[in-house]
Amino acid sequence: MFGFLKKLTAGTPSIDVAELDARLTAGEVRLLDVREPNEFKDGHVPGAVNVSMRRLPDQVGKLKKDKPYAVICESGSRSNSATGYLLEQGFEGVVSVRGGTSAWRRSGRKISR
């Protein structure tokens, strides 16, 4: 059922939180948070849209393709899987955020609730 979750590739494109911040500020990317809704409510990067990993296959058709996506989770594992999945679905320029929301928090950047 969730076979795509197991497909982790070492070559998954990724960026760090500083680059994410710069790309968000420039309006170059959309931010997709693939954590569970309760995790998202506990704190997320401002402007992130929440579609949990388990819902991603059902929701992928509703995602806009006008900008590339930066995909974030708590630490980077789920976002790596989701990035690979979105690339397989024809999304271009998708990147995973290394260190996830934890790294964003540790950097002192703003968290929304």
Q: Which of 51, 71, 73, 86 is catalytic?
A: 73
| C-alpha span between 43 and 57 (Å, rounded) | 24
pLDDT at residue 3 tops 80: no
Closest CA to 55 of 112, 95, 2: 2
Q: Can you give the residue ranges of every domain in the chain?
A: 3-106
51, burial (CB in 10 Å: exposed 0-12, middle 13-18, buried 19+): buried
Q: Catalytic residue at 55?
A: no
78, burial (CB in 10 Å: exposed 0-12, middle 13-18, buried 19+): buried
Q: What is the pLDDT of residues 54-94, one digit of tens each?
A: 999 999 999 999 999 999 999 999 999 999 999 999 999 99
Would you place residue 18 in the very low, low, confident or very high pLDDT band (cuts 50, 70, 90)?
Answer: very high
What CATH number labels 3-106? 3.40.250.10
Asked if 106 and 50 touch (Cβ cutoff 8 Å), the reply is: no
Percentage above 90 pLDDT, the chain: 89
For Cα atoms 101, 12, 40, give the angle at the middle one, nearest 5 degrees.
Answer: 25
Q: In this structure, what DSSP letter does residue 48 have?
A: -
- Of 5-14, 52-61, 95-104, the range with the lowest mean pLDDT is 5-14
